[in-house]
Structure 1
Amino acid sequence: MKFAVFTVSVPEWDPAHAAEEIAAAGYDGVEWRVTDQAASPDGRPGFWAGNRCTWPASSLAENIPAIKKITADARLQMPALGTYLAPGDLEAIDAAMVAAKELGVPQLRVSSGGYDTSQSVAGQWNARRAQYGEVAKLAARHGVRANIEIHHRQLTPSPHAAAAFLEGLDPSHVGVIHDVGNMIWEGWTEYRLGLEALGPYLAHVQVKNGSTVPAGTRSDGTVEWKNTQLPLREGFADIPLLLQALDQVGYEGWVSVEDFSSLGGQTRTERIAANLQYLRESAPSRQ
């Protein structure tokens, strides 16, 4: 396995500085965040708004030389592009795939789409599956792979749902991002069971950790719960067990870290180094 940092999780750093830090920590690669984002409401860089380590999707083509240089100068690889693409936006998907091909990046993220609770599941499922058939054709044309993500509040919150969504499509053109952190909140599946369900569709792995905590109590005594992010060692997900399961199914690809938890007393530099140390300590050794 090789380890990377998804730059959504290093919002304070610009790309050049991030690449230097990620390389100095000992990672093998960087997964660049690519999206046209909103400004931070308070002016401070955040994970999902005002993130300084994000390449705008609208100017991705123009930034290809800079991305190549920054990544090469740090001697990092690019396992995937962290794009935010809807399955029906074929024009944007096509442009991102062209850029990925030119960058030498083999895969990128194209969502299965959010789940609308006011509409029938079957209708949404069939419509998105049809859209993803067109996504697969684009991926085949450009020689890249489009990956859906296992994600709560989407149509594919579990490995089995993700595998069913892609059924019948060529796994050399489409795949699945296994995200153990997202499955804490919806779609939790025993790790090896889920990985084997994905089979050839297992394309990429992202790791983060978290839990659920009480958020309040209603007048009738019902306890409400909310999601919370935690460091890799502290959350509900058993990261060493996940790495063991990945090894058991023969996974030799990338594990990309997106740690959204509070830094506590650490600096961002210390945190990414500690995360890599934990992953390497936890990964099964092959003699």
Structure 2
Amino acid sequence: MGLQPALFSKVLGERSLQEAATLTAECGYDGFEPMCRDPHLGPDRSLEEVRELRDHLDDLGLGVPCLATYTGNYAALSEPECEAELETLESFLGFAEILDCDVVRHGPGGPPLRDATDADFEHAAAWMRRAADRAAEYDVTVAMEIHAHRLSETVDSTRRLLEAIDRDNVGAIHDAGNMYIVGDDYGPESVRRLGDDLVHVHVKDLQRIEDATGPGTFELETDDGVEAFQRRRLEEGAVDHGPLFAALEEAGYDGYVTAESTAPAEDDVALAEHELAALSRLLS
């Protein structure tokens, strides 16, 4: 199968879920990764609606590499709140079964590593373990995205969580853009260190800038203080994905790579087309 390009439906976030899927296929992507919140695939969708989406995706020839949920976030939650997150995850596991999807994004939550305690890791790992056990009933892998301001902020901290959770159906989502923000190595060494625990890949481009006043900009506190960033189209920012893609191929990663850019664009379809063209160059 090799590496296959997919689109995160958030790129077409102003469209309906069905229209976003149609446009994804028309652009030429192989996969469609639903944003699992309104207005796309929120947890309150009926099973009938999800079956209709599955039929639509089948007609379009699109696979579903991952359900991009916003569930989990256990580190900062109380016991009842954690239980509620597990129940929401259960809804998405049912969706995954219908959509023939074997990876669901589900994370430990924050705080950022500089503020995290051993107790935060222990609490999050215990609940992630329970989540993994539920997901195993559906033959689904729970995937923690490497993401700023999360316990899974770096390869090191993600590996720490994986070892603490100790479940075969828990893996990592590699995201070079997020790793660029926190200054973590996102090149070949990151692929090697994640090994078989790397179960999915997100790609987007970013650029550190002087101040967050223009379109597509945001501020985030890092270990170096509050920094400004701008969302860019692939190959137009500071994140060099070339070595990463070479490492993925060398490692035998056989799955989807999802474009998730939300760079400023007057035309969302043109942005999706640009990201596919850039992905195609990287894939070749």
The TM-score with structure 2 as length reference comes to 0.85
State whether structure 2 residue 210 is matched by structure 1 residue 214. yes
> CA offsets per residue over residues 129-150 of structure 1, 9 Å max, x none?
1111111111212211110000
Secondary structure of 1:63 counterpart: helix
The structure carrying a bigger helix percent of its residues is 2
> CA offsets per residue over residues 97-138 of structure 1, 9 Å max, x none?
122112211111101212168965211011101111111111
1:105-254 equivalences under 5 Å are 105-115=101-111, 120-167=116-163, 169=165, 172-215=168-211, 225-254=227-256
- Using CA pairs below 8 Å that are at least 6 residues apart, which structure has the higher relative contact order? 2
Counterpart residue identity of residue 185, structure 2 = T
- Which stretch shows the higher mean deviation, 146-155 or 127-136? 127-136
Gap change, CA 1:60 and 1:173, over 3 Å in 2: farther
Secondary structure of 1:153 counterpart: coil
State whether structure 2 residue 264 is matched by structure 1 residue 268. no
Counterpart residue identity of residue 14, structure 1 = S
> CA offsets per residue over residues 150-196 of structure 1, 9 Å max, x none?
00000011122112211165664111110111111115214111111
Aligned partner of 2:31 in structure 1 is 29
Counterpart residue identity of residue 274, structure 1 = H
Query: After the TM superposition, which parts of structure 1 deviate over 4 Å for at least 4 consecutive aligned residues?
Result: 116-120, 168-172
Gap change, CA 1:181 and 1:118, over 3 Å in 2: closer
Gap change, CA 1:154 and 1:74, over 3 Å in 2: same
Aligned length: 261
Question: Quick check: 1:230–1:261 contact (8 Å CA) kept in 2?
Answer: yes
Deviation at 1:223, TM superposition (A): 9.2
Question: Quick check: 2:242–2:282 contact (8 Å CA) kept in 1?
Answer: yes
* Cα distance between partner residues in 2 of 1:2 and 1:257: 11
Deviation at 1:4, TM superposition (A): 0.5
Deviation at 1:277, TM superposition (A): 1.4
Aligned partner of 1:19 in structure 2 is 21
Secondary structure of 1:115 counterpart: coil
Gap change, CA 1:73 and 1:187, over 3 Å in 2: same
Question: Quick check: 1:151–1:183 contact (8 Å CA) kept in 2?
Answer: yes
Question: Quick check: 2:54–2:98 contact (8 Å CA) kept in 1?
Answer: no
* Cα distance between partner residues in 2 of 1:183 and 1:118: 15
* Cα distance between partner residues in 2 of 1:223 and 1:64: 43
Percent identity between matched residues is 26
- Which stretch shows the higher mean deviation, 126-135 or 82-91? 82-91
Counterpart residue identity of residue 212, structure 1 = R
Aligned partner of 1:81 in structure 2 is 67
Aligned partner of 2:278 in structure 1 is 278
Question: Quick check: 2:146–2:155 contact (8 Å CA) kept in 1?
Answer: yes
Counterpart residue identity of residue 105, structure 2 = R
1:1-20 equivalences under 5 Å are 1-20=3-22
The TM-score with structure 1 as length reference comes to 0.84
1:88-99 equivalences under 5 Å are 88=82, 89-99=85-95
* Cα distance between partner residues in 2 of 1:113 and 1:232: 27
Secondary structure of 1:125 counterpart: helix
Aligned partner of 1:43 in structure 2 is none
Aligned partner of 1:255 in structure 2 is 257
Aligned partner of 2:42 in structure 1 is 56
Question: Quick check: 1:160–1:194 contact (8 Å CA) kept in 2?
Answer: no
* Cα distance between partner residues in 2 of 1:145 and 1:231: 30
